[in-house]
Chains A and B, each alone.
Chain A
Protein backbone atom coordinates (compact mmCIF):
# COMPACT_ATOMS: atom_id res chain seq x y z
CA UNK A 1 0.00 0.00 0.00
CA UNK A 2 2.81 2.39 0.94
CA UNK A 3 4.65 1.38 -2.22
CA UNK A 4 1.59 2.02 -4.29
CA UNK A 5 1.23 5.47 -2.74
CA UNK A 6 4.88 6.27 -3.44
CA UNK A 7 4.46 5.12 -7.01
CA UNK A 8 1.45 7.38 -7.38
CA UNK A 9 3.22 10.38 -5.86
CA UNK A 10 6.10 9.87 -8.25
CA UNK A 11 4.28 9.10 -11.50
CA UNK A 12 0.68 10.03 -10.82
CA UNK A 13 1.14 13.59 -12.06
CA UNK A 14 0.10 12.86 -15.60
CA UNK A 15 -3.00 10.98 -14.50
CA UNK A 16 -4.03 13.81 -12.15
CA UNK A 17 -3.28 16.32 -14.90
CA UNK A 18 -5.52 14.51 -17.40
CA UNK A 19 -8.29 13.99 -14.88
CA UNK A 20 -8.39 17.59 -13.68
CA UNK A 21 -7.96 19.01 -17.18
CA UNK A 22 -10.89 16.83 -18.26
CA UNK A 23 -12.94 18.13 -15.35
CA UNK A 24 -12.04 21.71 -16.31
CA UNK A 25 -13.10 21.19 -19.91
CA UNK A 26 -16.34 19.68 -18.74
CA UNK A 27 -16.97 22.74 -16.56
CA UNK A 28 -16.01 25.10 -19.35
CA UNK A 29 -18.24 23.57 -21.98
CA UNK A 30 -21.14 23.16 -19.60
CA UNK A 31 -21.08 26.48 -17.85
CA UNK A 32 -19.97 29.03 -20.35
CA UNK A 33 -22.45 29.79 -23.05
CA UNK A 34 -19.70 31.37 -25.13
CA UNK A 35 -17.48 28.35 -25.14
CA UNK A 36 -20.37 26.03 -25.71
CA UNK A 37 -21.46 28.01 -28.71
CA UNK A 38 -17.94 28.31 -30.04
CA UNK A 39 -17.47 24.63 -29.40
CA UNK A 40 -20.53 23.78 -31.42
CA UNK A 41 -19.83 26.25 -34.20
CA UNK A 42 -16.14 25.52 -34.59
CA UNK A 43 -16.88 21.83 -34.50
CA UNK A 44 -19.23 22.61 -37.33
CA UNK A 45 -16.57 24.47 -39.29
CA UNK A 46 -14.07 21.71 -38.86
CA UNK A 47 -16.40 18.86 -39.60
CA UNK A 48 -17.81 20.66 -42.62
CA UNK A 49 -14.39 20.95 -44.20
CA UNK A 50 -13.22 17.40 -43.66
CA UNK A 51 -14.06 14.27 -45.60
CA UNK A 52 -17.43 12.89 -46.54
CA UNK A 53 -17.25 10.50 -43.65
CA UNK A 54 -17.93 13.50 -41.45
CA UNK A 55 -21.01 14.51 -43.34
CA UNK A 56 -23.42 12.98 -40.91
CA UNK A 57 -21.72 14.74 -38.03
CA UNK A 58 -21.71 18.12 -39.70
CA UNK A 59 -25.35 17.74 -40.64
CA UNK A 60 -26.16 17.02 -37.05
CA UNK A 61 -24.13 19.94 -35.79
CA UNK A 62 -25.69 22.37 -38.25
CA UNK A 63 -29.13 21.61 -36.87
CA UNK A 64 -28.57 24.72 -34.81
CA UNK A 65 -28.68 27.04 -37.81
CA UNK A 66 -31.66 25.20 -39.26
CA UNK A 67 -33.44 25.76 -35.98
CA UNK A 68 -32.47 29.44 -36.21
CA UNK A 69 -34.08 29.81 -39.61
CA UNK A 70 -37.18 27.94 -38.47
CA UNK A 71 -37.49 30.31 -35.54
CA UNK A 72 -37.36 33.27 -37.93
CA UNK A 73 -40.05 31.65 -39.99
CA UNK A 74 -42.22 31.04 -36.94
CA UNK A 75 -41.91 34.70 -35.92
CA UNK A 76 -43.12 35.63 -39.38
CA UNK A 77 -46.03 33.20 -39.17
CA UNK A 78 -47.11 34.46 -35.75
CA UNK A 79 -47.59 37.91 -37.24
CA UNK A 80 -50.12 36.47 -39.66
CA UNK A 81 -52.28 35.07 -36.92
CA UNK A 82 -55.61 36.60 -36.26
CA UNK A 83 -54.86 37.96 -32.82
CA UNK A 84 -51.99 39.99 -34.26
CA UNK A 85 -54.32 42.00 -36.45
CA UNK A 86 -56.26 45.00 -35.48
CA UNK A 87 -59.59 44.59 -37.14
CA UNK A 88 -61.49 47.74 -37.86
CA UNK A 89 -64.95 47.08 -39.00
CA UNK A 90 -66.60 50.13 -40.40
CA UNK A 91 -70.26 49.32 -40.24
CA UNK A 92 -71.52 52.06 -42.48
CA UNK A 93 -70.20 50.75 -45.72
CA UNK A 94 -69.35 47.28 -44.40
CA UNK A 95 -65.73 47.61 -45.41
CA UNK A 96 -63.32 45.75 -43.21
CA UNK A 97 -59.84 47.15 -42.74
CA UNK A 98 -57.32 44.79 -41.29
CA UNK A 99 -54.16 46.33 -39.97
CA UNK A 100 -51.16 44.64 -38.54
CA UNK A 101 -50.93 45.24 -34.81
CA UNK A 102 -48.31 42.78 -33.59
CA UNK A 103 -45.13 41.59 -35.21
CA UNK A 104 -42.70 39.06 -33.80
CA UNK A 105 -38.97 38.81 -33.58
CA UNK A 106 -37.28 35.52 -32.84
CA UNK A 107 -34.55 35.51 -30.20
CA UNK A 108 -32.18 33.06 -28.66
CA UNK A 109 -31.75 32.70 -24.92
CA UNK A 110 -28.10 33.23 -24.06
CA UNK A 111 -28.34 33.42 -20.28
CA UNK A 112 -31.01 32.12 -18.02
CA UNK A 113 -31.51 31.55 -14.35
CA UNK A 114 -34.22 29.67 -12.48
CA UNK A 115 -32.70 29.30 -9.05
CA UNK A 116 -32.96 32.84 -7.74
CA UNK A 117 -35.87 34.89 -6.53
CA UNK A 118 -35.08 37.58 -9.07
CA UNK A 119 -34.52 35.54 -12.17
CA UNK A 120 -33.61 37.19 -15.43
CA UNK A 121 -33.18 35.96 -18.97
CA UNK A 122 -30.77 37.49 -21.47
CA UNK A 123 -31.64 37.36 -25.17
CA UNK A 124 -29.47 37.97 -28.20
CA UNK A 125 -31.63 40.81 -29.49
CA UNK A 126 -31.23 44.49 -28.68
CA UNK A 127 -31.74 48.05 -29.84
CA UNK A 128 -30.11 47.11 -33.12
CA UNK A 129 -32.97 44.73 -33.83
CA UNK A 130 -35.66 47.14 -32.70
CA UNK A 131 -36.23 45.76 -29.23
CA UNK A 132 -37.56 48.23 -26.70
CA UNK A 133 -38.40 48.17 -23.05
CA UNK A 134 -41.73 46.65 -22.04
CA UNK A 135 -42.06 44.38 -25.02
CA UNK A 136 -43.63 41.02 -24.33
CA UNK A 137 -41.77 37.74 -24.75
CA UNK A 138 -43.21 34.28 -25.22
CA UNK A 139 -42.00 30.85 -26.20
CA UNK A 140 -43.59 27.96 -28.02
CA UNK A 141 -45.28 26.68 -24.87
CA UNK A 142 -46.43 29.98 -23.47
CA UNK A 143 -45.69 33.38 -22.10
CA UNK A 144 -42.18 34.07 -20.80
CA UNK A 145 -42.01 37.65 -19.57
CA UNK A 146 -41.41 41.29 -20.38
CA UNK A 147 -38.28 43.05 -21.66
CA UNK A 148 -36.78 44.93 -18.77
CA UNK A 149 -33.68 46.59 -20.20
CA UNK A 150 -32.07 46.79 -23.61
CA UNK A 151 -28.52 47.33 -24.82
CA UNK A 152 -27.25 47.54 -28.38
CA UNK A 153 -27.11 43.82 -28.97
CA UNK A 154 -28.91 42.24 -26.05
CA UNK A 155 -31.93 42.59 -23.88
CA UNK A 156 -32.78 41.34 -20.42
CA UNK A 157 -36.20 39.87 -19.81
CA UNK A 158 -37.98 39.71 -16.51
CA UNK A 159 -39.74 36.34 -16.64
CA UNK A 160 -42.87 35.26 -14.79
CA UNK A 161 -40.55 33.47 -12.41
CA UNK A 162 -39.32 36.70 -10.86
CA UNK A 163 -40.92 37.86 -7.64
CA UNK A 164 -41.16 41.39 -9.01
CA UNK A 165 -43.28 40.25 -11.93
CA UNK A 166 -46.98 41.00 -11.97
CA UNK A 167 -49.33 40.50 -14.87
CA UNK A 168 -53.00 40.09 -15.48
CA UNK A 169 -54.19 36.74 -16.75
CA UNK A 170 -57.54 35.45 -17.91
CA UNK A 171 -59.30 32.16 -17.39
CA UNK A 172 -59.98 31.16 -20.97
CA UNK A 173 -63.26 29.40 -20.17
CA UNK A 174 -64.96 32.12 -18.16
CA UNK A 175 -63.06 35.24 -19.27
CA UNK A 176 -62.51 36.36 -15.70
CA UNK A 177 -59.17 37.88 -15.06
CA UNK A 178 -56.90 37.90 -12.05
CA UNK A 179 -53.32 38.77 -11.31
CA UNK A 180 -50.52 36.34 -11.81
CA UNK A 181 -47.68 36.31 -9.30
CA UNK A 182 -44.78 34.02 -8.63
CA UNK A 183 -44.24 32.65 -5.14
CA UNK A 184 -40.54 31.81 -5.62
CA UNK A 185 -41.20 28.14 -4.93
CA UNK A 186 -40.10 26.62 -8.18
CA UNK A 187 -39.83 27.64 -11.80
CA UNK A 188 -42.74 25.58 -13.06
CA UNK A 189 -45.58 26.98 -10.96
CA UNK A 190 -47.08 30.39 -10.19
CA UNK A 191 -50.19 31.69 -8.47
CA UNK A 192 -53.28 33.34 -9.87
CA UNK A 193 -55.05 35.64 -7.46
CA UNK A 194 -58.25 37.62 -7.28
CA UNK A 195 -60.53 35.16 -9.06
CA UNK A 196 -63.92 35.51 -7.30
CA UNK A 197 -65.40 32.47 -5.63
CA UNK A 198 -68.54 32.16 -7.74
CA UNK A 199 -66.56 31.15 -10.82
CA UNK A 200 -66.58 27.50 -11.71
CA UNK A 201 -63.10 26.09 -11.87
CA UNK A 202 -61.67 22.79 -12.92
CA UNK A 203 -58.22 21.32 -12.89
CA UNK A 204 -56.61 21.80 -16.28
CA UNK A 205 -58.45 25.00 -17.23
CA UNK A 206 -56.32 27.17 -19.49
CA UNK A 207 -55.01 30.51 -18.33
CA UNK A 208 -54.13 32.94 -21.09
CA UNK A 209 -53.04 36.56 -21.51
CA UNK A 210 -55.86 39.03 -21.18
CA UNK A 211 -54.99 41.43 -23.97
CA UNK A 212 -55.81 44.35 -21.69
CA UNK A 213 -52.25 45.60 -21.79
CA UNK A 214 -50.52 46.74 -24.91
CA UNK A 215 -47.78 44.21 -24.29
CA UNK A 216 -49.34 40.89 -25.23
CA UNK A 217 -51.96 40.00 -27.79
CA UNK A 218 -54.84 38.26 -26.10
CA UNK A 219 -54.96 34.52 -25.81
CA UNK A 220 -51.31 33.65 -25.44
CA UNK A 221 -51.01 30.57 -23.26
CA UNK A 222 -49.69 31.10 -19.75
CA UNK A 223 -50.45 27.82 -18.07
CA UNK A 224 -53.16 25.56 -16.68
CA UNK A 225 -54.94 25.35 -13.34
CA UNK A 226 -53.13 22.80 -11.25
CA UNK A 227 -54.85 23.15 -7.90
CA UNK A 228 -57.23 25.64 -6.38
CA UNK A 229 -58.75 26.23 -2.99
CA UNK A 230 -61.00 28.66 -1.26
CA UNK A 231 -59.87 29.71 2.15
CA UNK A 232 -62.71 30.03 4.62
CA UNK A 233 -63.95 33.60 4.81
CA UNK A 234 -62.22 34.60 1.61
CA UNK A 235 -64.06 35.70 -1.47
CA UNK A 236 -61.27 34.76 -3.81
CA UNK A 237 -59.67 31.56 -4.93
CA UNK A 238 -56.01 30.79 -4.54
CA UNK A 239 -55.05 29.04 -7.72
CA UNK A 240 -51.84 27.15 -8.38
CA UNK A 241 -50.89 27.52 -12.00
CA UNK A 242 -48.72 25.06 -13.82
CA UNK A 243 -46.76 27.27 -16.20
CA UNK A 244 -46.71 26.32 -19.85
CA UNK A 245 -43.17 27.51 -20.42
CA UNK A 246 -40.43 25.23 -19.25
CA UNK A 247 -37.93 27.74 -17.89
CA UNK A 248 -35.36 25.05 -17.26
CA UNK A 249 -35.01 24.41 -20.95
CA UNK A 250 -35.63 27.64 -22.78
CA UNK A 251 -33.79 28.07 -26.07
CA UNK A 252 -35.84 30.13 -28.50
CA UNK A 253 -38.38 32.80 -27.69
CA UNK A 254 -40.29 35.47 -29.58
CA UNK A 255 -40.33 39.16 -28.79
CA UNK A 256 -43.63 40.90 -29.44
CA UNK A 257 -43.68 44.32 -31.04
CA UNK A 258 -46.93 46.18 -30.70
CA UNK A 259 -47.10 48.63 -33.57
CA UNK A 260 -49.78 50.60 -31.73
CA UNK A 261 -47.88 50.78 -28.45
CA UNK A 262 -46.91 54.45 -28.86
CA UNK A 263 -50.45 55.48 -29.66
CA UNK A 264 -51.90 53.59 -26.70
CA UNK A 265 -49.27 54.93 -24.36
CA UNK A 266 -49.92 58.54 -25.37
CA UNK A 267 -53.64 58.06 -25.00
CA UNK A 268 -53.34 56.52 -21.57
CA UNK A 269 -50.92 59.22 -20.46
CA UNK A 270 -53.45 61.82 -21.46
CA UNK A 271 -56.05 60.20 -19.25
CA UNK A 272 -53.79 59.88 -16.26
CA UNK A 273 -52.70 63.50 -16.60
CA UNK A 274 -56.19 64.76 -16.16
Chain B
Protein backbone atom coordinates (compact mmCIF):
# COMPACT_ATOMS: atom_id res chain seq x y z
CA UNK B 1 0.00 0.00 0.00
CA UNK B 2 2.61 2.47 1.15
CA UNK B 3 4.97 1.30 -1.56
CA UNK B 4 2.28 1.87 -4.16
CA UNK B 5 1.94 5.45 -3.03
CA UNK B 6 5.68 6.01 -3.25
CA UNK B 7 5.89 4.48 -6.73
CA UNK B 8 2.86 6.46 -7.92
CA UNK B 9 4.40 9.71 -6.67
CA UNK B 10 7.83 9.02 -8.14
CA UNK B 11 6.26 8.30 -11.52
CA UNK B 12 4.06 11.38 -11.24
CA UNK B 13 7.11 13.48 -10.34
CA UNK B 14 8.97 12.33 -13.46
CA UNK B 15 5.95 12.62 -15.77
CA UNK B 16 5.03 16.11 -14.55
CA UNK B 17 8.61 17.29 -14.74
CA UNK B 18 8.96 16.19 -18.36
CA UNK B 19 5.54 17.52 -19.31
CA UNK B 20 6.33 20.86 -17.69
CA UNK B 21 9.92 21.17 -18.84
CA UNK B 22 9.68 19.83 -22.37
CA UNK B 23 6.16 20.67 -23.48
CA UNK B 24 4.42 23.36 -21.46
CA UNK B 25 7.53 25.51 -21.17
CA UNK B 26 7.57 26.03 -24.93
CA UNK B 27 3.96 26.99 -25.44
CA UNK B 28 4.20 30.63 -24.25
CA UNK B 29 7.40 31.06 -26.27
CA UNK B 30 5.68 29.92 -29.45
CA UNK B 31 3.01 32.59 -29.20
CA UNK B 32 4.12 35.97 -30.35
CA UNK B 33 1.49 38.43 -29.29
CA UNK B 34 0.20 36.90 -26.13
CA UNK B 35 2.95 35.30 -24.14
CA UNK B 36 2.98 36.98 -20.76
CA UNK B 37 2.02 33.80 -18.96
CA UNK B 38 3.28 30.39 -17.93
CA UNK B 39 1.36 27.16 -17.74
CA UNK B 40 1.85 25.46 -14.39
CA UNK B 41 1.08 21.77 -14.14
CA UNK B 42 3.78 20.50 -11.79
CA UNK B 43 2.29 21.98 -8.57
CA UNK B 44 -0.31 19.21 -8.70
CA UNK B 45 2.48 16.88 -7.54
CA UNK B 46 2.62 18.80 -4.27
CA UNK B 47 -1.19 18.92 -4.01
CA UNK B 48 -1.53 15.14 -4.36
CA UNK B 49 1.02 14.04 -1.75
CA UNK B 50 -0.66 12.02 1.03
CA UNK B 51 -1.74 13.77 4.23
CA UNK B 52 0.58 11.64 6.31
CA UNK B 53 3.64 13.14 4.63
CA UNK B 54 5.55 14.88 7.44
CA UNK B 55 5.55 18.63 6.97
CA UNK B 56 9.36 18.98 6.60
CA UNK B 57 9.37 16.20 4.00
CA UNK B 58 6.47 17.83 2.18
CA UNK B 59 8.42 21.07 1.95
CA UNK B 60 11.54 19.25 0.83
CA UNK B 61 9.58 17.50 -1.93
CA UNK B 62 8.11 20.85 -2.97
CA UNK B 63 11.65 22.18 -3.21
CA UNK B 64 12.81 19.17 -5.24
CA UNK B 65 9.92 19.50 -7.68
CA UNK B 66 10.53 23.22 -8.08
CA UNK B 67 14.31 23.06 -8.44
CA UNK B 68 13.97 20.29 -11.04
CA UNK B 69 11.61 22.47 -13.06
CA UNK B 70 14.09 25.33 -12.64
CA UNK B 71 16.68 23.29 -14.51
CA UNK B 72 14.43 23.34 -17.55
CA UNK B 73 13.55 26.98 -17.16
CA UNK B 74 17.13 28.05 -16.50
CA UNK B 75 15.93 30.06 -13.52
CA UNK B 76 17.61 28.64 -10.41
CA UNK B 77 15.46 29.07 -7.31
CA UNK B 78 12.38 30.75 -8.78
CA UNK B 79 10.11 27.73 -9.21
CA UNK B 80 11.74 26.12 -6.19
CA UNK B 81 10.79 28.99 -3.90
CA UNK B 82 7.17 28.79 -5.05
CA UNK B 83 7.17 25.02 -4.51
CA UNK B 84 8.55 25.44 -1.00
CA UNK B 85 5.97 28.11 -0.22
CA UNK B 86 3.02 26.03 -1.41
CA UNK B 87 4.24 22.93 0.39
CA UNK B 88 4.55 25.04 3.52
CA UNK B 89 1.00 26.45 3.39
CA UNK B 90 -0.64 23.21 2.24
CA UNK B 91 -1.53 21.91 5.74
CA UNK B 92 -3.12 25.25 6.63
CA UNK B 93 -5.22 25.35 3.47
CA UNK B 94 -6.22 21.73 4.05
CA UNK B 95 -7.26 22.46 7.63
CA UNK B 96 -9.45 25.37 6.51
CA UNK B 97 -11.19 23.09 4.03
CA UNK B 98 -11.54 20.23 6.50
CA UNK B 99 -14.78 18.32 5.96
CA UNK B 100 -17.13 17.81 8.92
CA UNK B 101 -15.86 14.32 9.65
CA UNK B 102 -12.23 15.49 9.48
CA UNK B 103 -9.29 13.87 7.80
CA UNK B 104 -7.94 10.46 8.54
CA UNK B 105 -4.33 11.54 8.47
CA UNK B 106 -2.86 8.06 8.30
CA UNK B 107 -4.55 6.98 5.08
CA UNK B 108 -6.18 9.96 3.35
CA UNK B 109 -4.84 11.34 0.11
CA UNK B 110 -6.20 14.66 -1.19
CA UNK B 111 -7.90 13.38 -4.33
CA UNK B 112 -11.23 13.81 -6.08
CA UNK B 113 -11.73 10.12 -5.52
CA UNK B 114 -11.76 10.60 -1.78
CA UNK B 115 -13.22 14.09 -1.20
CA UNK B 116 -15.18 14.92 -4.36
CA UNK B 117 -14.63 17.33 -7.19
CA UNK B 118 -15.76 20.55 -5.50
CA UNK B 119 -13.50 19.98 -2.49
CA UNK B 120 -10.56 19.16 -4.71
CA UNK B 121 -11.18 22.13 -7.00
CA UNK B 122 -11.27 24.58 -4.07
CA UNK B 123 -8.23 23.00 -2.45
CA UNK B 124 -6.08 22.86 -5.56
CA UNK B 125 -7.09 26.22 -7.00
CA UNK B 126 -6.31 28.06 -3.76
CA UNK B 127 -2.88 26.43 -3.69
CA UNK B 128 -2.37 27.00 -7.41
CA UNK B 129 -3.14 30.69 -7.08
CA UNK B 130 -0.76 30.96 -4.13
CA UNK B 131 1.89 29.13 -6.11
CA UNK B 132 1.63 31.33 -9.18
CA UNK B 133 1.44 34.53 -7.20
CA UNK B 134 4.53 33.58 -5.24
CA UNK B 135 6.27 32.54 -8.45
CA UNK B 136 5.71 35.91 -10.10
CA UNK B 137 6.58 37.81 -6.93
CA UNK B 138 9.98 36.10 -6.97
CA UNK B 139 10.39 36.16 -10.75
CA UNK B 140 9.60 39.87 -11.05
CA UNK B 141 11.17 40.35 -7.65
CA UNK B 142 9.86 43.76 -6.72
CA UNK B 143 6.47 45.02 -5.70
CA UNK B 144 7.28 48.06 -7.76
CA UNK B 145 5.67 46.14 -10.63
CA UNK B 146 2.72 45.10 -8.52
CA UNK B 147 0.25 45.24 -11.40
CA UNK B 148 2.43 43.14 -13.63
CA UNK B 149 2.64 40.51 -10.89
CA UNK B 150 -1.16 40.57 -10.49
CA UNK B 151 -1.85 40.53 -14.21
CA UNK B 152 0.58 37.70 -14.96
CA UNK B 153 -0.68 35.75 -11.96
CA UNK B 154 -4.31 36.01 -13.07
CA UNK B 155 -3.60 35.10 -16.70
CA UNK B 156 -1.38 32.17 -15.75
CA UNK B 157 -3.79 31.05 -13.06
CA UNK B 158 -6.75 30.85 -15.42
CA UNK B 159 -4.83 28.92 -18.05
CA UNK B 160 -3.08 26.65 -15.53
CA UNK B 161 -6.36 25.89 -13.74
CA UNK B 162 -7.69 24.40 -16.95
CA UNK B 163 -4.59 22.22 -17.29
CA UNK B 164 -4.69 21.11 -13.65
CA UNK B 165 -8.34 20.12 -13.93
CA UNK B 166 -7.68 18.43 -17.25
CA UNK B 167 -4.88 16.44 -15.66
CA UNK B 168 -7.18 15.48 -12.83
CA UNK B 169 -9.95 14.40 -15.21
CA UNK B 170 -7.67 12.45 -17.52
CA UNK B 171 -5.74 10.54 -14.89
CA UNK B 172 -8.07 10.71 -11.91
CA UNK B 173 -5.23 9.78 -9.52
CA UNK B 174 -6.17 7.55 -6.59
CA UNK B 175 -2.75 7.22 -5.00
Q: Which residue of B lies closest to A37 (CB)?
A: B141
A-B contacts counted at CB < 8 A amount to 82
Q: Give bound CA distance, A23 to B84, whole Å.
A: 10
User: What's the Cα separation between A76 and B145 when bound, in Å?
Assistant: 35
Tell me if A81 is interfacial: C-beta within 8 Å of chain B.
no
User: Does A24 lie within 8 Å of B77, measured CB to CB?
Assistant: yes
| Assembly CA distance A26 to B140 (angstroms) | 15
- B88 x A45 contact (CB < 8 A): no
- Contact B59–A13 (Cβ < 8 Å): yes
| Residue in A15, A31, A42 whose CB lies within 8 Å of B77 | A31
Residues of A within 8 A of B144 (CB): 42, 45
Let me know if A32 is at the binding interface, CB within 8 A. yes
Q: Which residue of B78, B85, B91 is within 8 Å of A21 (Cβ)?
A: B85
Whether the Cβ atoms of A21 and B81 lie closer than 8 Å is yes
Contacts of B70 in A (CB 8 A): 27
Residues of A within 8 A of B81 (CB): 21, 24-25, 28
Given contacts A26-B77, A28-B141, A45-B144, contact A13 B56 (CB under 8 A): yes
Check if B76 is an interface residue, CB within 8 A of chain A.
yes
Interface membership of A35, Cβ < 8 A: yes
Given contacts A9-B54, A21-B85, contact A34 B59 (CB under 8 A): no
Taking the complex as formed, is B33 at the interface, i.e. its CB lies under 8 A from any CB of chain A? no
**Please, which residues of chain A bring their CB within 8 A of the CB of B55?**
9-10, 12-13, 16
- Beta-carbon contact of B56 and A12 below 8 Å: yes
Instruction: Decide if A28 touches B84 in the complex (CB within 8 Å).
Output: no
Instruction: Tell yes or no: A38 within 8 A of B by CB.
Output: yes
Chain B 64-102 interface residues, beta-carbon cutoff 8 Å to A: 66, 70, 75-78, 80-81, 84-85, 87-88, 91
Q: Mark B42-54, 1 if CB is under 8 A from A, else 0.
A: 0000000000001
Residues on A with beta carbons closer than 8 Å to the beta carbon of B141: 28, 34-35, 38-39, 42
CB interface residues, B 116-175, toward A, < 8 Å: 138-142, 144
B93 CB to closest chain A CB, in angstroms? 14
Q: Which has the most chain A C-beta neighbours within 10 Å: B54, B57, B66, B144?
A: B54
Question: Is B63 an interface residue, CB under 8 A from the partner?
Answer: yes
Residue B60 CB within 8 A of the other chain: yes
Q: How far apart are A80's CB and chain B's nearest CB, in angstroms?
A: 39
> Which A-chain residue is minimally distant from B57 (CB atoms)?
A9
What is the distance, in angstroms, from B37's C-beta to the closest C-beta of chain A? 17
Which secondary structure dominates chain A's binding surface?
Answer: helix
In chain A, positions 30-71 with a C-beta closer than 8 Å to chain B are: 30-32, 34-35, 38-39, 42, 45
| B142 and A42 form a contact (CB under 8 A) | yes
Q: Is A8 an interface residue (CB 8 A)?
A: yes
- In the bound assembly, the distance between CA atoms of A34 and B75 in angstroms comes to 10
Q: Are A32 and B75 touching (Cβ within 8 A)?
A: yes
A20 at interface, CB cutoff 8 A: yes
Q: 18 interchain pairs (CB within 8 A)?
A: A9-B57, A12-B54, A16-B56, A20-B60, A20-B84, A21-B84, A21-B85, A24-B80, A24-B138, A25-B77, A27-B77, A28-B78, A28-B138, A28-B141, A31-B75, A32-B75, A35-B141, A42-B142
Residues of A participating in the B interface, judged by any CB pair closer than 8 Å: 8-10, 12-17, 20-21, 23-28, 30-32, 34-35, 38-39, 42, 45
Which residues of B approach A to under 8 Å, CB–CB? Answer: 54-60, 63, 66, 70, 75-78, 80-81, 84-85, 87-88, 91, 138-142, 144
Closest 8 CB pairs of A and B: A27-B77, A13-B55, A24-B81, A28-B77, A42-B142, A31-B76, A24-B77, A9-B54
Known: A17-B59, A31-B76. 6 other contacts (CB 8 A): A9-B56, A13-B58, A14-B88, A24-B63, A28-B78, A38-B140
